[in-house]
Amino acid sequence: MSNVKPYTSAQLLEKVKSLHSFKAIPTSYWLLGVRSNEDAPNKFDDKIYLFKGEQFICVTSATTNPGVTVLRNYAKFNAKGAAVVKADEWYYGVWMKGKHQGKITALVQTGAKIKVYRDGDKDDKAEASDILQEGFFGINFHPNSYDINAKTTGTLVNGWSAGCQVVNDMNQYRLIMSIIPSGEKISYCLLNEF
């Protein structure tokens, strides 16, 4: 369960508008991640909010960090380290509906580059490093199951995130994916808890 403190829509919108990369609030659907300051290793301790314009739709627990499986064995994915998405940034038009690993409907990185730090110290904490890259790294938005009808809410990230933004509440994931239209570019903003 996420320990991110509760925010009002007004607080979140004020914060995202203050970022250096802010251009405009998207008029359609967009996602907002908040990375927990607690940053409990391998836990779904972050939150992801769905907005339409400035209207709040719903929120779910999630992780915005790679799991310990990837943090300890990142070389299978990238020799420079595990991908940790840079927070306090806007990523406009970054995702569209598609298939994650060809297995489940997700939002896939097809529309824009994303900034990631490469964490290569092989401990259990996802951290910013001296290595910052920008590009197409397959940073997707998906659940921690390939079964869209799964009833459970997972508790450990493990290998479910190698940098992807991963929801562990399948009910909320199904809701979000049922609302977001196909063929539309979806923007994402990731904040550090404030």
Name the domain count of the chain. 1
Q: Assess if residue 111 is contained within a domain.
A: yes
- Kindly report the pTM of this predicted structure: 0.94
CA distance 38 to 43: 10
Q: What is the DSSP letter of 76?
A: G
CA distance 66 to 158: 8
Count of CB atoms situated within 10 Å of the CB of 50 = 20
Q: Assess if residue 4 is contained within a domain.
A: no
Q: What percent of the chain has pLDDT over 70?
A: 99
What rounded mean pLDDT belongs to the chain? 94
Q: How far apart are the first and last CA of the chain?
A: 18
Q: Assess if residue 2 is contained within a domain.
A: no
Strand ranges for the chain from DSSP E: 29-35, 46-52, 55-63, 82-85, 89-100, 104-109, 114-119, 132-135, 141-143, 165-167, 186-192
Q: Assess if residue 39 is contained within a domain.
A: yes
Q: Assess if residue 19 is contained within a domain.
A: yes
Confidence of residue 74 (pLDDT cuts 50, 70, 90): confident
Burial class of residue 81 (count of CB atoms within 10 Å of its CB; 0-12, 13-18, 19+): buried
- Would you say residue 2 has pLDDT above 80? no
**At a CB cut-off of 8 Å and minimum separation 6, what does 90 contact?**
16, 19, 21, 22, 23, 187, 188, 189
Domain containing residue 114: 9-192
pLDDT 10s digits, 89-142: 999 999 999 999 889 999 999 999 999 999 989 888 899 888 999 999 999 999
pLDDT 10s digits, 10-59: 999 999 999 999 999 999 999 999 999 988 889 999 999 999 999 999 99
Q: Assess if residue 3 is contained within a domain.
A: no
